[in-house]
Amino acid sequence: MIYFYKTFTKEVFATDTKPKFLVFGILKLVNYLRTLGFDTIYLRKDYQKAIRIAKEEGRILVSQINNLPKLPWILYLTEKKNDLRLKEIFQKLHLTVNEEDIYTRCGACNAPLENLSVEDAEKILPFDIKKCAYLFKRCPKCGKIYWKGEHYLTLKNKLLKLGIMERGKYSLFDHTADLGIEAEAPSLEGIFETLGTALFSELIEGEIEEKGKYTIDVTSSSLEGLLVRFLNELLYKFEVEELLCKSFSCILLDKRILCNCFGGKFNPRRHIQKREIKAATYHNLCLKKKQNKWVARVILDI
């Protein structure tokens, strides 16, 4: 259910359709909304024309001109920075970012993107794409090519920090002398991110600051194996390099996970190791999609 914000009466009314936008005079916001999968057009002149088009096409008119008529389909923004403007839109319309919608629409011309094979992408792009890019798409209108790479991980981390992308959640369950964790997330990548967060939450007491970034890149013949290897790689980083992680941003491609981990070094003056976690195990391991969520159950050997 999508909710539209009626500025002049503070009322909320609902629709089951995904909102479309017309942004007036805030160009940088247009690319943001398109990147997140929203049908968005842009005008910078003739405000009356913008009002008419928005009404005719069923679009929400996003504007910072707040001294004009307060109409039901106009959303007035008060924030001055683009990140905060995006957050304001999502909060007022009660929206959350769906990870599957990211890079489904061209940021340049607004057309829906089409899938592009790795073989075709290799013929066009001038670098070794296999090392740094995944899941290619091309705009059929302007020909611009998009892919998931380092910039995608950075974007995901920003959306999570803004609080407009749904995070996963986890809970603990008893299992003899071991530690059990159950997780739920809106995406498969979110399961990895949530269990990574759970691992360090149950391992370390004390605030972990995001002073740096390190990357984990692991492969496996199965998704279950990939999850176990991912968690054990995090444990290895802690045991050998004393690296702690507070947040994660992952890309999953077939049986490979690439993850940016944000955190810092273990500091005995600030951190206490709550327990020793030896390894993530395959015992009673579960990873599956349940309705529109992904769920996982993993047991840690302590």
pLDDT of amino acid 98:
84
Sign of CA dihedral 123, 125, 127, 133: negative
Same structural domain, 281 and 187: yes
Instruction: Report the relative pairing of strands 11-15 and 2-6 from DSSP bridges.
Output: antiparallel
**16-73 tens-digit pLDDT:** 578 999 999 899 999 999 999 999 999 998 888 988 999 899 999 999 887 666 677 7
Question: For residue 41, which amino acid is it?
Answer: I
Q: Where does residue 178 fall: left (phi above 0), alpha (psi -120 to 50 degrees), or beta otherwise? A: beta
**Would you say 36 and 102 are in contact if contact means Cβ atoms under 8 Å apart?**
yes
> Does 284 lie in the same domain as 200?
yes
Domain finish residue from 122, 156, 190: 156
- Whether pLDDT at 108 is above 50: yes
CA 80 to chain centre: 23
76-101 tens-digit pLDDT: 999 999 999 999 999 999 988 888 88
Shared-domain flag, residues 211 and 257: yes
pLDDT at 130: 57
Look at the chain and report how many structural domains it folds into.
3
Mean pLDDT, range 271-284, rounded to an integer: 91
CATH number at residue 178: 3.55.10.10
Model pTM? Answer: 0.77
Give domain status of residue 104, yes or no. no
Domain that holds residue 253: 169-301
Q: In this structure, is residue 195 part of a structural domain? A: yes
Residues 235 and 263 in one domain: yes
Of the candidates 242, 239, 244, 250, the one whose C-alpha atom is nearest the C-alpha of residue 277 is 239
pLDDT exceeds cutoff 90 at 192: yes
146 and 69 belong to one structural domain? no
> Do 296 and 206 share a structural domain?
yes
Q: In terms of domains, do 123 and 73 share one?
A: no
Give yes or no: residues 186 and 280 share one domain.
yes
The residues pairing with 60 across neighbouring beta strands, listed in sequence order, are 21
Q: Could you tell me if 77 and 186 lie in one domain?
A: no
Same-domain status, 264 and 221: yes
